[in-house]
């Protein structure tokens, strides 16, 4: 018969870690998406030449491993005496990391809107703002959604790296229990199941919306 030392309190500890994972992910994806939309519009509107400084900065966040970004970000905020808590530092770095990828998703989706459609809208007297709001945005959202869902799930899994800043998220909570109970396979299996239960509804929602918005339906 299977026997384990895992208690209800230990499961609650894992769920609290999952709550921290969700909190960091929600802040990072929310802020990163808003910044990504802003930066994506800038890159789309002004082109690669005029947005070169922004492009270079975003390339840094896409190229440098996230763990190095978290460690350096925590070190710099200490040097600058900003007094940020580990949660704040984690959210800021993850938000910029998310924005760097979201910017390219938004730019690519907007550039995928047929130029003939935009020209037709402008010929009907629509202003630039109306064109962006009524024509480009709805079409770009449909194009960008699958990639954005993938980015969201990726950020949620990458948020496990915040354990290096001292945050007890889901993976760190499971490591603490593994060290104390010496049941790595069982505890990591539960940890993986929690990650799946968090990720599956998001993935299914994205699939449902993608199918609903498909032009072939």
Neighbour-count burial for 117-129, b at 16+ CB within 10 Å, e otherwise: ebeebeeeebeee
CB–CB of 95/27 below 8 Å?
yes
How many C-alpha atoms does 35 have within 13 Å on its Cβ side?
A: 18
Domains in the chain and their CATH numbers? Answer: 8-113+146-212 (1.10.3720.10)
How many other C-beta atoms lie within 10 A of the C-beta of residue 100? 22
- pLDDT for 207: 79
pLDDT tens, 36-73? 999 999 988 887 677 788 888 899 999 999 999 999 99
Length of the chain: 217
Q: Which among 207, 165, 167, 5 has a CA at the least distance from the CA of 72?
A: 165
- pLDDT for 215: 54
- pLDDT for 15: 93
- pLDDT for 217: 47
Distance of CA 43 to the CA centre of its chain: 20
How many other C-beta atoms lie within 10 A of the C-beta of residue 44? 20
Cβ neighbourhood burial of 160 (10 Å; 0-12, 13-18, 19+): buried
Question: CA of 187: how far to CAs of 7, 50, 121, in Å?
Answer: 11, 51, 57
Q: Which residues of the chain have pLDDT under 50?
A: 1, 217
């Amino acid at each position: 018969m299977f026997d384990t030392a895992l208690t209800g309190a230990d499961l609650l500890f894992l769920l609290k870690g999952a709550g921290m994972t969700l909190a960091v992910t929600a802040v990072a994806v929310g802020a990163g998406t808003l910044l990504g939309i802003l930066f994506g519009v800038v890159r789309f509107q002004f082109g690669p030449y005029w947005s070169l400084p922004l492009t270079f900065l975003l390339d840094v966040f896409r190229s440098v491993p996230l763990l190095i970004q978290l460690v350096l970000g925590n070190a710099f905020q200490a040097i600058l005496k900003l007094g940020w808590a580990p949660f704040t530092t984690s959210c800021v770095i993850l938000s910029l990391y998310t924005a760097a990828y979201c910017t390219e998703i938004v730019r690519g989706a907007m550039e995928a809107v047929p130029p003939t459609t935009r020209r037709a809208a402008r010929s009907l007297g629509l202003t630039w703002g109306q064109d962006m709001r009524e024509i480009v945005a709805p079409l770009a959202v449909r194009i960008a959604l699958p990639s954005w869902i993938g980015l969201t799930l990726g950020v949620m899994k990458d948020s496990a790296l915040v354990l290096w800043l001292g945050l007890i998220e889901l993976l760190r909570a499971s490591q603490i229990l593994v060290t104390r109970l010496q049941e790595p396979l069982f505890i990591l299996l539960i940890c993986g199941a929690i990650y799946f239960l968090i990720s599956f509804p998001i993935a299914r929602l994205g699939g449902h919306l993608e199918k609903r918005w498909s032009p072939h339906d």
